[in-house]
Amino acid sequence: MISPPQVETYDYALFGEVERKPFSRVRQVIARRLSASWAEVPHVAQFDECDLTALMALQHDMAAQSPGIKLTLLAFVMKACASALKFFPDFNASLDTQANELVLKKYCHIAFAAETPIGLLAPVVRDADRKDVLQTAAAIQILADKAKAGRLAMSDAEGACFTITNLGLLGGTGFTPIINAPEVGILGVGRASPRVVDLDGVLATRLFLPLTLVYDHRVIDGAVGGRFLAHVIRQLHDPKGLLQMPP
């Protein structure tokens, strides 16, 4: 077995004033998990963008009719991912390397990255495929409020099948998130920006959202990854299908 490379420790104070602070237990766990995922899982990233113009108009109308619910873009993205997980079940799976089996999950729990006082956590919206958009938005808000207040229970961040991480509010045109193993996929959402495009000879300003799908290449081939991302984009581009009541 190849030993991990040893990082040389310097006396940093030789170069100027320094301050040391404890590396919290949560950050240690995050570091171990992300390092293991990056070292063991062959990551592939696919990039695309989605025309959000129609969805933003729909979101505005729905938010006006539901003032008690904070209806964010994340709720629509989560519903689009839930739909894609149904069509592409290998994304809703985990690889059991001991048994050489792919564990296909019959449930659909989707996590979203949330900043908390103790570090980055991923609370889980359970049965995302069985919730409508407003129910999804309400579940996200409850979990986000708990995360911000530092009140997430361990059970709130367990059992995810897939993760969404949204840095759009912070800026940036794109990024490549690390898979939250044993999940096999994660979707990164960037900052939407307007762009003038030619629509049948007429110039129009449309809003485009950059998306990055990262997946475990041991489980997912490139063609399947491309189809998964295309499905998500179709759902967001023409969002009427996301409003259908789930079974």
Integer Cα distance of 103 and 108 in angstroms: 13
> Can 217 be counted among the known catalytic residues?
yes
Assigned token pair, 155: 């059970």
Integer Cα distance of 172 and 187 in angstroms: 15
Integer Cα distance of 215 and 219 in angstroms: 8
Integer Cα distance of 121 and 209 in angstroms: 24
From the candidates 60, 109, 217, 237, which is the catalytic residue? 217
Q: What phi, psi does 153 have (nearest 5°)?
A: -85, 160
Integer Cα distance of 239 and 34 in angstroms: 33
Q: Which of 213, 179, 188, 189 is nearest to 94 (CA)?
A: 179
Catalytic residues: 217
